[in-house]
Each structure stands twice: as C-alpha cells, then as structure tokens.
DNA sequence: ATGCCTGCAAAGCTTTTGCAGATGC
DNA sequence: GCATCTGCAAAAGCTTTGCAGGCAT
C-alpha cells in the first residue's frame, strides 16, 4: 500500500508521486537515473516533467523511500530502499550491477570508525569488477 | 623529481603541469577540487586557466599520478596517488577526511568478487561518520 | 620547425529553481 | 479554500571542447 508510505513521509498523494513509486517498484532491483524514470513515464503516457521527477526522487530520498548512489559517470542512480542495506558491485564491461552484503565488512567498518572516535552514520562501498577470464 | 613522472606519462613538462603537481604535493594528504587547485594557483600568481586545471588533472588521473573521488555533492576531489591504496572516512559534521586501510576488508572484497565470477578491478569505500558523543 | 599545450569563451550535461496555474485534502 | 504540488522554461553549477596562438623539444 504505497500511498501509506507517502502519507507517512508527509507528502500528498499525487499522481506523479504514485506513478514514480510504481515505476520504481516495477523495476525493483535495478538502478535508474532520473532520466530513466522519466523515459519510463513517457512510455506509460504519463505527462510528468523531468523537473518533477528530480523533485520527487529527492523527496523520496529524504523520506528514506529510495536511496541515491553516485557511481562513476555524472548521473546519479536511484533504487527503492526496502530497509535492507546492501553494497554494490558494478561490472566495468557490461555495466551490470550486483548487490551484496558482507557482515564481516560491515562489522569492521564500525570498528574502524570507533577506533578513530567516530560513529558510523552511513557508508558507500562499490566494487568495480571485470568478468574472470578463463585460462 | 616530478618532471620524471610527467615524462614517464608521455606528457610534456610544461609550467602548468609542474605547478599543479607542486600544489598537489604541497597539500598532500588533503583532497582538492579542481577549483581548489585553481584558487591555489591564483594565490601563487600563476596565470593558469581553470580549463587547464581540469585537463591536467584528467591527464594525471589517466597516468595514475592522481586519483579522483566522487564523494557526496557535485564536485569531484583529487589527491596525489603515491601508490599506497587507502579508503576514506568523511566526517559529516566537519567535512574532515581521514584515510585508512583494512587488510581484512580488502581481502573479503576480492573473495566476494571471485565468488560471483569476477575479478576485482577497483573499489570505492567511503564511511560517513559523526564524532562519537560522550555520555 | 612541428606538434603538443594553453587560455579564453562558449557549449554541454545534469540538476535546481521561479512562477503561474492545477490539484489534493 | 488553501497550501502544497506540478509543468515549463530558464538558470545554475561543474566540466568539457573549439579554436587560435604559444611553448617544449
């Protein structure tokens, strides 16, 4: 019931916001740029401006509904945030994105921050990988 | 002997390149935007254009002399790359950047890539931290 | 001398913003 | 009805590029 998510975030339930949320759900597991979302909306014949897509995605991020990543290359990408944290592995040849979690790495990050007198607030880990070539 | 580094990279030893390299060495350990480097050049009364700073930093990156990071917020930052790999911890309150290396995390990254049939080419790990508050 | 560099200004791209009209509650 | 929201177009910010002259070798 996605309209709940919107209300909870203090956002009015408007057509653009609902549509964008639908797109993100439909494409769950992928990482979309604002432009990708916009093009998808056009396909669905929704008359929503690119500026609105940016505005809505930014609000969603603030509300914790989506998370935003800055991989390499100008455009930021967004994905639905279902609470399950994970990191990313990006194939430099195909652009494919794989998600993963490693408890040990997570743990050590906290330890490292603590060792320097800090609390870990957030982190960003991206592995840039290449298909293993067969010998 | 920095002129060697330039020659080795197939770059002519020109005044702008030498000056920029000097600035980076002088500020070693910090992370500068192209604009920061530019402003520093102005302070030293060097008449070098911002476009050149971008061009030179890009060439340096290609040559492995500097590395470029995309922390949060539009501007990319550069730092001298002395071969010693490390990751970064950014304080969200003060903007302070701390460098660190954790062999265990490095090791697990390779394992994770391998487990998915990839070779680790590169990676980017940034911890966003906040000073631990005293109780 | 020649080909690689540089400065300047203009263009390019992604993202943000101002404003008048539209829409949700 | 009123505040919030949206579309459009224009602006903004970072970075790149075209071009004519300048410099290293």
Contact between A128 and B122 using a beta-carbon 8 Å cutoff: yes
User: Chain B closest CA to A45's CA: distance in Å?
Assistant: 32
pTM (predicted TM-score)? 0.85
Chain B residue closest in CA terms to A123: B127
User: Does A135 have pLDDT greater than 50?
Assistant: no
pLDDT, tens digit (0-9, with 9 covering 90-100), for A62-119? 999 999 998 877 899 999 988 788 999 988 888 788 999 999 999 999 999 999 999 9
Q: Compute the average pLDDT of residues A32-43.
A: 95
Q: CA–CA separation, A88 vs A100, rounded Å?
A: 6
The pLDDT value given to residue B134: 59
- Which of A61, A93, A124, A132 to mutate against chain B (most B CBs within 10 Å)? A124
Strand D at less than 7 A from CB of B35: yes
User: Does B1 have pLDDT greater than 70?
Assistant: no
3-state secondary structure chain B: CHHHHHHHCCCCCCHHHHHHHHHHHHCCCCCECHHHHHHHHHHCCCCCCHHHHHHHHHHHHHCCCEEEECCCCCCCEEEECCCCCCEEEEECCCCCEEEECCHHHHHHHHHHHHHCCEEEEEEEEEEEEEECCCC
The verdict on A3 touching B (C-beta cutoff 8 Å) is: no
pLDDT, tens digit (0-9, with 9 covering 90-100), for A116-129? 999 999 899 999 99
First-to-last C-alpha distance (Å) of chain A: 51
- Which of B76, B118, B123 to mutate against chain A (most A CBs within 10 Å)? B118
Residues 65-104 of A with CB under 7 A from strand D: none
């Amino acid at each position: 019931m996605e309209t709940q998510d919107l209300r909870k975030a203090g956002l009015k339930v408007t057509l653009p916001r609902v549509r964008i949320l639908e797109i993100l759900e439909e494409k769950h597991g992928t990482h979309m740029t604002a432009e990708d979302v916009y093009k998808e909306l056009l396909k669905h014949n929704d008359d929503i401006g690119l500026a609105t897509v940016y505005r809505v995605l930014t609000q969603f991020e603030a509300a914790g509904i989506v998370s935003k990543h800055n991989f390499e290359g100008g455009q930021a990408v967004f994905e639905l945030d279902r609470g399950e944290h994970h990191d990313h592995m990006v194939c430099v040849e195909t652009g494919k994105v794989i998600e993963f979690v490693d408890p040990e790495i997570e743990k050590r990050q906290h330890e490292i921050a603590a060792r320097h007198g800090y609390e870990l607030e957030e982190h960003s880990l991206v592995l840039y990988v290449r298909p293993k070539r067969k010998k």
